[in-house]
Structure 1
Amino acid sequence: MVTVTVWNEYRHERESEAVAAVYPDGIHTVIADALGERGHDVGTATLDEPEHGLTESVLDETDVLVWWGHKAHDEVADDVVERVVDAVHEGMGLLVLHSGHYSKPFKRLMGTSCSLKWREVGEKERLWTVEPGHPITDGLPESFEVPHAEMYGERFDIPAPDELVFLSWFEGGEVFRSGCCYTRGKGRIFYFRPGHETYPIYEQPEVQTVLDNAVEWAAPGDGPTPTFGNTDPIEELE
């Protein structure tokens, strides 16, 4: 069982009737319920909680942090950002969803602008599985469709992924690297493009399968703890 914290700004759902109609209890609740039904130990945190709900004790107990943000990236306190980044370096997994590409933690961990093209007209998205042997693709078909999505298009200003798992095609003709794996320090990061506040994408079974698989993949292992600095030799030196 993986301990997961699902983080969400939780602003759109409280400020927009259109968003509340799709996610009345918040995007974080839908994601948390889906992961909980698949056997994970799931909690949630939101922007307006003290320390954004991401205290040192919460992160210490979190195996994988799921991040959804959109309109209030700049309101995330820098000390909390550093806390998240440090936790990833120490082994916590991080799943960054949709517009979380512009979040402070993701940009810090990538070291680039993370900019992209976008268009919002509700067009069809088709995701292609380009690494069918990867554990994040377990149980998925060669491709699946999101009926209505916000388009994200290349160039996506990110470092080349360690592994590219999904590639998206949109009805308007663009393509996008939509499932990107990274390692930073001891932590694993997965960026997954699908998701939007006015489309019920996180209720789609294929999307929930991806999130479930990604949580399992990103969970910390039990490898050795590295040591740094000046050190004595292991072998005898003359």
Structure 2
Amino acid sequence: MVILSCTSQTGEQSSSNEANPVEATTQGKEEQELPSLKYTIEQATEEDFSKAAAKHITGFSMGKYEARKVNGVINLKINGEWKPIEAFTDTLLNTDDPDIREYKYLGQNKDLNKYLVAGSFYEDYQTYLVDMTTGEVAATTWTEPVVSPDKKHLANISIPTVMEPSPNGIQVWNVVEQGEGKGIEKYLEIEQQDWEPFEMRWESSQAIIMKVIPMEKYELLQGEPKQKDFAYLRLIVK
């Protein structure tokens, strides 16, 4: 029996199922004994992951003349006009300074009306969803988010690493109507130290298949896993 646990910032406990021996627990302040109202986690298979990976999902695409970098600052077309996004300014490149920052444009999603920008730091990595109308950062995610088939959710995992205090888990976001545009709101965030996520795929508009390795095994493998080392989890968003 494989026992895996997770800590969610929703402050709720996910339910377990004897037929799927994956126990996901949370450590909320007040509702530790209640079933999660937002998600459940169960075991999945490599075949489940392969089937989910074969499905085509439109994400963020990169085209010409959408972004440019001027004097180390990313410029984006906001309302059709070029605008420097000063928050995305490269600093201390080609040095060992811990304050080093480098930003890269990753693409856009017109349905969401959002650009995607990545930030690489000394011991960290983040991505940013930037509103194409206002130029404001709508959400900051651990890694590149993947759009659900119904385009109502985004999800992203953390970067595989044993370095602390790096996050370890998965984030799920809601796409919400916001005036004439769309906003991005965090729905749930699961942080835990029992399994290391490597990949994720949307199986359906409510289910995600994650390719993971138990943390103890990952540390022993020194970051070089083989296919036989992976396990698979299904996260069902309610």
* Structure with more strand by fraction: 2
Higher-RCO chain (CA-CA 8 Å, sequence separation at least 6): 1
TM-score w.r.t. the length of structure 1 is 0.26
* Structure with more helix by fraction: 1
